[in-house]
Amino acid sequence: MKNSLLNLIFPPVCVHCGRRILKQDDYLCPECLENIEYFQPPISKVDGISYDYLISIAKYEDVLVSLIHNLKFYNLSSLGEFIAQLMYEQVKKIKLVLDVNLVVAVPLHSVRKRERGYNQAAIIAKKFASLLNCEFRDDIIERVSNRPSQATLERDKRAKNISQAFKLKKNIDLKHKSVILLDDVFTTGSTVEECCKELRKSEPKRIIVLTMGKA
């Protein structure tokens, strides 16, 4: 009743093109949903860096930019869950993913988290872990320095800005565990690289970086 009244006053629209949609929880019209460019296959083995595999779901452009933008700037946890569902659909048959024991999100510094009120990567990660039926934790790594937002820096300054920004909390034991580190978008990779360096200290069996978008 409350929802149908709300729909009458604020008709649900597609977050990308603005066209009317049936339910707000759909977020995208069928056409925009269709236009997401998924990577096939999404998984690739990586060498010489602190994680073992990179899974990026789709090209970070058009529809996906609108989804992530809306997630970042409005507190829409149901949109985060919608994105987690899209990700899950693309990876649910990958054995390495099914073997995962733990999902963690790239942390937001506590100051920025206070300003914004939530960590968008954690919203996605929590839902993703529940779909995968495995553990989600947000108390394993913390962001120790609150430097300028990555987005405001030029590319070559980003890597420097992020180094030593994360710290593994004490008494974390990831031995024999296969871990997913989740972030919304993969850009230069320096953020996840620094996070994974810390995760490695606890000697997990495998680290998979998982992002919804990749430029």
Q: Interface with Zn ion by CB under 5 A: which residues? A: 14, 16-17, 19, 29, 32
Residue number with CB closer to Zn ion (34 or 173): 34
Residue number with CB closer to Zn ion (60 or 166): 60
Min separation Cβ 194 and Zn ion, Å: 36
Min separation Cβ 19 and Zn ion, Å: 5
Q: Is 138 exposed, middle or buried (0-12, 13-18, 19+ CB in 10 A)?
A: middle
Q: Collapsing DSSP states into helix, strand and coil, what is residue 61?
A: coil
Can you say whether the dihedral through the CA atoms of 28, 30, 36, 41 is positive or negative? positive
Residue number with CB closer to Zn ion (37 or 203): 37
In Å, how far are 5, 64, 134, 176, 215 from 185, measured between CA atoms? Answer: 35, 10, 22, 27, 8
Residue number with CB closer to Zn ion (19 or 169): 19
